Amino acid sequence: MKNRKIAKDANKIYDELDTFISSHQKFFITTHESPDGDGLGAEIAFREYLTSLNKTVYIVNGDPLPTKYAYLDPDNLILAADSLTLPEDYTDFSLIIIDTNTFSNTGGTYTLCRDWIKDFFIIDHHEGNSDVFAPNLVLVHASSVSEIIAHFLYRNNFTPSKQAATSLYTGILFDTGGFRYSKTSSETFSIISWLVSHGADPTQIYELIYENNELPTLLLKAKMLASIESHHQGKLLYMELTPQMLEETGAEFSEGELNINIPLTIKGVEISVLLKQDIEGQLKVSMRSKGDIDVSIIAISRNGGGHKNAAGFKSNLSLADTKKQVLSDIERFFF
Ligand SMILES: [Mn+2]
């Protein structure tokens, strides 16, 4: 019965998204900084859907497409906010924000649009309290924004191309860690079945995401693992991803970020903390937890966001001071 209620609520907000789409003709689609497989896959599929309705659509992101996701965008549809020449009628465009509920998290797109955008709509699955008063489709029980959009397209009797099905499958696979994380549900698997029936190839997508790494990525992982510190009798593992590590290995920042999940594979670990900074980027803190430990409390208290088991925030302090601060914040879970 619980699922029926969720389905009913979702239908109501799917209607709101339908209304938003039908009341606009021109759209920018964007996702958060350091875009991941979920945000990117959802953008590609949602663009295809809007295009099928004869809408004008540009995908505009604050950060470039990570190399490993090039297969999601063979036609180079994803544009860079910092080098975009706005169309003459740009003020007619509305904005669809995917996989974050905070406009400012879209980085370069926020800078590009914040002064003139009249309407935007948020599609997301994260908890957090920013911008939620804007029109939105936020389903925090969903495994991924790709799952939300796949359900929405299915409900609207849309037939996805193989490319769109592949993109949405990628997003769900990525955000569920290969159908393992706690929000993986029967609804996830039923929509996965639909995507496979429209051409998403599980073996091929698995190989593209998980067996397509470059040597620098492995060398970066080695350096990050070497930085691990154990706290609270091994319940908390702390790790770093520094600009120096990126310079020494030549690896991409987005590859290093994924290593935050590795400490959770160790027996007895309840929280994984990663301090990460791209070359010339801002220092960020990412946290992952198991079970009932709600790390989003810490992220939100530091003006960040996320959900119970995965959250983060940006820091303007030095790495050493940020480390001290977050380790102190986290003590609340162990005393
Ligand atoms: Mn996501």
Q: What is the reported pLDDT for 134?
A: 77
Distance 172 CA to ligand 1 centre (A): 8
Distance 335 CA to ligand 1 centre (A): 31
pLDDT of 9 > 70? The answer is no
Residues linked to residue 275 through DSSP beta bridges, in sequence order: 240, 285
Both tokens assigned to 332: 């609340």
Domain check: are 170 and 273 in the same one? no
Distance 89 CA to ligand 1 centre (A): 31
> What CA–CA distance (Å, rounded) separates 132 from 143?
19
Domain check: are 65 and 203 in the same one? yes
Domain boundary among the residues 189, 209, 229 is at 209
Distance 102 CA to ligand 1 centre (A): 13
Per residue in 83-119, pLDDT tens? 999 999 999 999 999 999 999 999 999 999 999 999 9
The residue ranking higher by pLDDT, 190 or 12, is 190
Are 177 and 261 spatial neighbours (Cβ–Cβ below 8 Å)?
yes
CATH of the domain at 86: 3.90.1640.10
Domain boundary among the residues 209, 227, 250 is at 209
pLDDT, mean of residues 275-290: 96
Domain check: are 197 and 312 in the same one? no
Residues 6+ apart with CB under 8 A from 309: 181, 182, 288, 289, 290, 293, 294, 295
pLDDT, mean of residues 38-60: 98
pLDDT, mean of residues 20-37: 97
The residue ranking higher by pLDDT, 254 or 200, is 200
pLDDT, mean of residues 20-41: 97
Alpha helical stretches, state H, 176-284: 186-197, 202-210, 215-226, 243-249, 253-257
Domain boundary among the residues 180, 209, 238 is at 209
Domain check: are 227 and 322 in the same one? yes
Distance 273 CA to ligand 1 centre (A): 19
pLDDT range class, residue 13, cuts 50, 70, 90: confident
Q: What is the reported pLDDT for 2?
A: 36
CA 2 → CA 5, 9, 54, 142, distances in Å? 5, 11, 37, 14
pLDDT, mean of residues 131-147: 87
pLDDT, mean of residues 218-247: 98
CATH of the domain at 267: 3.10.310.30
Distance 77 CA to ligand 1 centre (A): 20
Distance 199 CA to ligand 1 centre (A): 22
What is the amino acid identity at position 331?
A: E
What is the amino acid identity at position 317?
A: L
Q: How many CB atoms lie within 10 A of CB 42?
A: 30
Domain check: are 205 and 286 in the same one? no
Domain check: are 164 and 45 in the same one? yes
pLDDT range class, residue 122, cuts 50, 70, 90: very high
Number of domains the chain contains: 2
Domain check: are 198 and 230 in the same one? no
Residues 6+ apart with CB under 8 A from 67: 252
Domain check: are 49 and 181 in the same one? yes
**Exposure on the CB side of residue 67, measured as CA atoms within 13 A:** 8
Kindly report the average pLDDT of the chain as a whole number.
Answer: 93
Distance 39 CA to ligand 1 centre (A): 6
Domain check: are 175 and 314 in the same one? no
Domain that residue 65 falls in = 2-209
Domain check: are 68 and 119 in the same one? yes
> What CA–CA distance (Å, rounded) separates 126 from 228?
27
Distance 238 CA to ligand 1 centre (A): 23
